[in-house]
Structure 1
């Protein structure tokens, strides 16, 4: 036994065990997030409960079962609840998603098992996913066309056709509003700023003012045409409605312009449920958020995260590589170089919120304010670059991740044998040619390693972004069809901040909880995808320049 300890084998087993436990913990966490997030999109069964409280009042409840827990009966009695019969020590209560927010008030309610008389799974109950007020549960009775019932032998099929028509018209109206009408508003604003600039430069005269006015008149006339088309789309979308019997027994008329999907989850087979599950995940990835981010999708947050990270990578890579090359290849060993290295190492330990404060003070107020004074005086006092935006977020995270790129690149440069440099110089190459053709290609895998670490950290940072550009809901993306097409001054959405906002700032906590898991899993997926892409590039570069090492 003593020889076994002296051989070092126990430490090998302990190290392997620690690594295994770490991997199990990470995989377990990812599986938990994936299960809780992806199960949210599975079409759950809709139940109809018959309830009777301790006073003998009966009611009907329609909804989906979300959770259950055991509650001590003594705690319920102490809270003022009266049981009709002596309860057991523990009582089960269920969390039910009821929807119908405009009539019920809350999306969720707790129901005690002692109050349940019966429970059924009706096949004809439907879930109406709406643009506002959440889901609506009930029994469709009739489809109305301009207030008149539509004759149909297959009500679900007729309802689906009318819903698809209304959704298509609503999407056309939304595209028209965002693209065509948005482009006209953008051009009108540019004309206003151009006129203001001419006025500030004392160059505004009758000729150019008349020219700008004629351009404005043409755009306004086009705007009126598009506005009439928009109103026509909305009027057509509002033509149809559906009569639904809800849990109160009342007949409610829902306009189909506010309905996105109608599903009958109790009447679906396994293949149909799987298809609806995939459709729900696709809609979550591709749609815009709504209802204070508790409904809809997260596409703007995905786009903002990826766009900001890629912009940060473009900024931090050349600066980090140049700094590492200077420190390793050109800087002489001395107190100044030593202080620079210590500063780089210490920068890696600075809290990220400090970078956010620096970015807000220097990039936004000083640099952005100066840009506005020099190049956009006509827009003042409204800031253009003097307010938080995606460019300042990318620069702030570039400074935050710069030490990682510098250290990783320096380690790669130090692994290159000095004989390679000397051989290149002996063959007549200059030092710059040696760096460009020999040293940097051989160090490119280490550069990509630093970039991978920088991307992994930047994609998950939230605290500095809250100060320099991220918002709860961005009206437009930083990339569109309006010149100059890339708008780096705009604010953006971020998956990390979206998780924080939905999880801690949502007015409907129970409805937001599954979205927190789904968005967290999506953020992890985006980070893993970016890292795998960078790892693939690194492995390709490593194989490409492997011959230089020999």
Structure 2
């Protein structure tokens, strides 16, 4: 036994067991997030039952079962429900009823005491709306300009409804494109005209120059106004077509409801769908989650702006942090005189890696946003003042703050890579007549490139998951437009962005509808994890390629 302990085998097994436990925990956590999050997109069956309320009245319920739990019967009796004394446990079900515009609440708990047998009516429909959440009910008729063109008893009713819903969605997307692209471009040009004229005033242009500029600006403004009238007329015509169709439905208690098709995103009948149809619906809803914009206070719709903002911020951060981190490491390792001052600098760099991220956010807000951004506005954007351009949180300052946050990681990794290169390689290069600079940039730095990429990988992993500093320097709950568009300079570093990490925080802790937001928290969290993995795998692939390239060159 003593010999076995001295051999070191127990520690090998202990380390292997610890790694195995960590892997099981990671895989289990990701699996839990995937099941809780991505299961949300599966079209659940719609159930109908009758429940007994606290006052003894029976109420008809229609909706989706979310989850169930067992609670003590004494707790239920204390709340005023009539539960038999012999019963110790009661099961309650959380049902998503939707119809928030009618019932005020779309999630409710119901006890199984007095609950009727569950039914799954085939004609029950689920309507995903742009406002007021889902609608659960039964169809009555389809109207065009107020006239009935089909009833629920017609054989072609559902085909007509789906065709007209698809038409409404296409019209809505076309209107959104006109408002965001065409009208947005015209507004951008009008704003440039206003700023150019304001710039001439600030430069002290004389009256003749101002009169000439006003004539030029008036001509451009008239041309843009004419373009706007044409585009607006096209948009108004699409709005008129969009308001044509209406679906008449009724809720489970018989109340009649009229739903404009322009407010419908998707209409389904889960109880009438087979497995293949549900799989197709699942893929469609999951793709919408990844590619669409959020709505209903971020509890519905997609997360594409958050994905785009996260990726863009990480790329800009990588472009900023890599050269600064590599140059700082090269100077500290190859040029700086070794001594107590350099040791203090290295200790300071190591300590910076442990500073809380919120401190970097406060520093970024005070120095980057207010000081540097305010100075840039005074120098280059005077015509926009008092409205700030760079003197307000935005994409560039968020990326710069994260670059400062991850700079110590890149410096340390690059230094470690430079230190592992044998001295004989340097001496051999110098002996062949190369200068120190040529040896450094043509021999040493290429061999240390994999270590630099390792530092970048670690920086990406940390930056993509940060939230606290970003809340101060450029990330918002909802950004109306992407920082990339067709207007010069195309990538707008001054705009605010959405971020997956902040989106998780907002949906999980600031949402007005907790139950509706719960599955989106899991789905967004798994999306963030997968995005970080993809970014890291891309960087690892580049690192391995460079490592093989320079290894073969050295052979």
Q: TM-score range by the shorter chain?
A: over 0.9
Q: 2:169 aligns with which of 144, 154, 167?
A: 167
Structure 2 residue aligned with 1:387: 392
Q: Distance in 2 between matches of 1:155 and 1:535?
A: 54
2 CA distance for matches of 1:142 and 1:202?
A: 67
Question: What's the CA shift for 1:423?
Answer: 1.0
Residues 2-31 of structure 1: per-residue CA shift (max 9 Å, x gap) = 111111111111111111111111111111
Structure-2 separation of matches of 1:493 and 1:412: 35
- Pick from 392, 397, 403 the counterpart of residue 408 of structure 2: 403
Paired position in structure 1 for 2:149: 150
Corresponding residue for 1:533? 538
Q: Is the 8 A contact 1:139 1:244 kept in 2?
A: yes
Q: With structure 2 as the length reference, what TM-score do the two structures score?
A: 0.97
Corresponding position of 1:73 = 73
**Post-superposition CA distance 1:211-261 (Å, at most 9, x none):** 111111111121122112111111111100111121221121100000011
The 2-side partners of 1:122 and 1:164 are apart by 24
CA distance in 1, matches of 2:105, 2:438: 70
Aligned partners of 1:300 and 1:345: how far apart in 2?
Answer: 35
Q: What's the CA shift for 1:425?
A: 1.4
Given the alignment, which residue of 424, 427, 442 partners 2:429? 424
CA offsets per residue over residues 350-393 of structure 1, 9 Å max, x none? 00000000000000000000000000001111000000000000
How far residue 55 of structure 1 moved from its aligned partner, in angstroms, is 4.4
- Once residues 503 and 445 of structure 2 are traced to their aligned partners in structure 1, the CA distance between those partners, rounded to angstroms, is 39
1:476 deviation in Å? 1.1
Alpha-carbon displacement from aligned partner over 1:118-161 (angstroms, at most 9, x marks no partner)? 21001111110111100001111211111111145321111000
Matched, 1:295 2:294: no
Q: What is the match of residue 127 of structure 1?
A: 126
Shift of 1:320: 0.4
Decide whether the 8 Å contact of 1:97 with 1:108 is kept in 2.
Answer: yes
Secondary structure of 1:91's aligned partner = strand
Aligned to 1:22: 22
| Structure 1 residues 87 and 139, CA gap change in structure 2 (3 angstroms) | farther
Alignment of 1:122-521 (within 5 A): 122-151=121-150, 152-203=154-205, 204-521=209-526
Q: CA deviation at 1:73?
A: 1.2
- The SS at the match of 1:77 is helix
Work out the CA distance in 1 between the residues paired with 2:434 and 2:272.
Answer: 76
CA distance in 2 between partners of 1:268 and 1:389 (Å): 46
Farther off after superposition, 36-45 or 149-158: 149-158
SS at match of 1:261: strand
CA distance in 1 between counterparts of 2:135 and 2:344 reads 65
Say whether the 8 Å CA contact 1:52–1:117 is kept in structure 2. no
Give 1:54 deviation, angstroms: 5.6
When normalised by structure 1's length, the TM-score is 0.98
Q: CA deviation at 1:428?
A: 1.6
- Paired residue for 1:34? 34
Alignment partners' CA distance in 1, 2:294 and 2:417: 44
Whether contact under 8 Å (2:54, 2:80) holds in the other structure is no
Per-residue deviation, 1:532: 0.4
SS of the aligned residue for 1:501 comes to helix
Compute the displacement of 1:548 (Å): 4.4
Cα shift at 1:51 = 2.1
SS at structure 2 position matched to 1:60:
strand
Equivalent position of 2:49 in the other structure = 49
CA RMSD between the two structures: 1.1
Report if the CA contact (8 A) 1:127-1:136 is conserved: yes
Kindly indicate whether the alpha-carbon contact (under 8 Å) linking 2:318 and 2:403 is maintained by their aligned counterparts in 1: yes
Q: CA deviation at 1:549?
A: 4.3
Quote the Cα distance in structure 1 between the aligned partners of 2:145 and 2:36. 42
User: Cα distance, 1:81 vs. partner?
Assistant: 2.7
In 1, Cα distance between equivalents of 2:375 and 2:100: 49
Other structure's SS at 2:468 match? coil
- Is there any run of 5+ residues in structure 2 with no aligned partner, and where? none
Q: Which residue of 2 aligns with 1:99?
A: 98
Deviates more, 1:296-305 or 1:68-77: 68-77
Output the CA distance in 1 between the equivalents of 2:250 and 2:439: 79
Retained in 2: the 8 A contact 1:54–1:115?
no
Q: 1:153 to 1:98 in 2, by over 3 A?
A: same
TM superposition shift of 1:86: 3.8
Equivalent-residue separation in structure 2 for 1:211 and 1:467 (angstroms): 41
- Whether contact under 8 Å (2:317, 2:402) holds in the other structure is yes
Structure 1 residue 63 corresponds to structure 2 residue 63: yes
Distance in 2 between residues matched to 1:412 and 1:311, nearest whole Å: 24
